Amino acid sequence: LASRGASPEEAAEVLRVLGLADASGPGAHLASVGKLPAREEEEEKTSAHDDKVLGELDCGMFRGAAARANYLALDRLDIAFAAKELCRRMSVPRASDLVALRRLAQYLVGTPRVVQKLPWQRPAGLKLFSDTDFAGCPRTRRSTSSGVTMRGLHLIKHYIILQPTHQTILSPADL
């Protein structure tokens, strides 16, 4: 299956920007193990009050790497949610957001490429699957909806959408 443009070179660029370009092999695939390097463990221990806004240079680096991750997510269902969450943080990136970006980059070290095989199958109808979490974002309490469209065993489309907030209007009788 031909890619729409996202390639392993895009993943390599994210790694280069974060200084992980020399990491390779399964030992560098830290996301599945859950163990972070010492520098990131220190950043992860910071409380919400200590979560500092990144400097101007780090903000630019974060935004560029998050945008590349979003571009990769067009073809890669496995990183779509993480890329969406990173892009939500682009306006005011914080130290904890940089930790999340590094985790995604570490995942990309272990899985730089995903190949979708679409073997021949008999004509089949469309199947739609969807899921929603209620108030899943701990910062904003907003919900996320996601879904996939399948034709037989072939993935046709995937999506992840952050639901807008709704305000409840109370009538005087409700007060």
What's the pLDDT score for residue 89? 92
For 85-113, what is the mean pLDDT?
91
Rg (CA), the chain: 19
Which amino acid, 78?
A: D
- Given this model, what pLDDT does residue 25 score? 45
Task: Output the pLDDT for position 5.
Answer: 52
| Residues β-bridged to residue 148 | 129, 158
Region 107-115 average pLDDT: 85
Contacts of 16 (CB under 8 A, 6+ apart): none
pLDDT at residue 113 above 90? Answer: no
Per-chain mean pLDDT for the chain: 77
Sequence-separated (6 or more) residues with CB below 8 Å from residue 119: 153
Q: How far apart are CA 20 and CA 109, in angstroms?
A: 8
pLDDT at 166: 63
Could you read off the pLDDT of 31-85 as tens digits, one per residue? 333 344 444 444 445 455 578 999 999 999 999 999 999 999 988 888 999 999 9
Q: Residue 3's pLDDT band (boundaries 50, 70, 90)? A: very low
Pick from 144, 38, 142, 141: which is nearest to 99 by CA?
Answer: 38
Using DSSP's 3-state secondary structure scheme, residue 107 falls into: helix
pLDDT at 48: 52
Q: Is the pLDDT of residue 164 over 60?
A: yes
